[in-house]
Structure 1
Amino acid sequence: MAHRLALDDQRMETIMGRLLQVGVLLASAVVLAGGFLYIRAHLGSIVNYRTFAGEPAALRSVRGLFRLLMTGDPAAVIQVGVILLIATPVARVVFAVVGFALERDKLYVAVSVTVLAVLMASLIYSI
């Protein structure tokens, strides 16, 4: 007989807390690395504050971001860190849906799915 992993409230809370910690630390490390790369690439540059120069449009699409990331663009590395930071609470809600489903807690599954739907709608709408 297979040993089944018990997923009680305390264990779920611990895993969710660890998920949030790891997500924030990973995002912070990526943004920090991108920041160092950005400073190194622009060290000694003269900045003209009279005109606004936005970031490239490629940073706003997955394909463009991936392309810039493969070329080692520091702004793309920072962007990936920001995406990881945004994805962290979304991953927590996904884990909550799965965890509550395993516990067969229909009310909390419904609440978590609703929260996930609102999160996804706001992410999709903001693009």
Structure 2
Amino acid sequence: MKKYFSQQYWKDQDIQLLVGKILRAGVSIASLIVLVGGIMYLISYGGETLPDYSIFKGESIGYTNLSGIFLGVFDLKAVAVIQLGVVALLATPIFRVFFSLIGFLLEKDRLYIVITVMVLGIIFFSIFSDIKA
């Protein structure tokens, strides 16, 4: 196990390839989830008349947090599946920054470790803080 986290095992090019694969896989998975949710939505609501788009109606409170999205997915609600795809798409660059941090830790590049930790801190602060604009 120790060899997998050694600098000799992970070269710089290997880490870049891993990060690229993570980005491609994340976007592909998110696109597939949204596609499935879109098909479910069209099957459920495709025959209805067009809504009045001159009046804005926001998303219901159930699909604006992760627990509501997961509950909706388990109930096979199309809107929740689409929201899950959006969450997966938003999580993709966060995973990229996290795995870049691992790469910088293996390389022992202190400057980029500090910068990447700051970027992750800003991302997590903006996600989990309750500050309203």
Same fold (TM over 0.5): yes
Question: Over residues 2-22 of structure 1, what are the superposed CA-to-partner deviations in whole Å (9 max), with x where a residue is unaligned?
Answer: 882411211111110011000
Pairing of 1:4-43 with structure 2 (within 5 A): 4-5=3-4, 6-43=9-46
Q: What secondary structure is seen at the aligned counterpart in 2 of 1:4?
A: helix
Give the letter aligned to residue 82 of structure 2.
Answer: I
For the pair 1:45 / 2:48, whether they are aligned, the reply is: yes
Whole-angstrom CA distance in 1 between matches of 2:117 and 2:99: 11
Whole-angstrom CA distance in 1 between matches of 2:104 and 2:51: 53
For the pair 1:112 / 2:111, whether they are aligned, the reply is: no
Structure 1 residues 51 and 16: alpha-carbon distance in aligned structure 2, compared to 1, 3 A threshold? same
Aligned length: 126
Percent of paired sites with the same residue? 34
For the pair 1:94 / 2:98, whether they are aligned, the reply is: yes
Scaled by the length of structure 2, what TM-score is found? Answer: 0.85
Scaled by the length of structure 1, what TM-score is found? Answer: 0.89
Whole-angstrom CA distance in 1 between matches of 2:50 and 2:2: 62
For the pair 1:62 / 2:77, whether they are aligned, the reply is: no
Whole-angstrom CA distance in 2 between matches of 1:100 and 1:52: 45
Q: What's the RMSD between the two structures over aligned residues?
A: 1.9
Contact 2:12 2:103 in 1 (8 A): no
Structure 1 residues 68 and 107: alpha-carbon distance in aligned structure 2, compared to 1, 3 A threshold? same
| Unaligned segments of structure 1, at least 5 residues | none
Whole-angstrom CA distance in 1 between matches of 2:89 and 2:102: 21
| Unaligned segments of structure 2, at least 5 residues | none
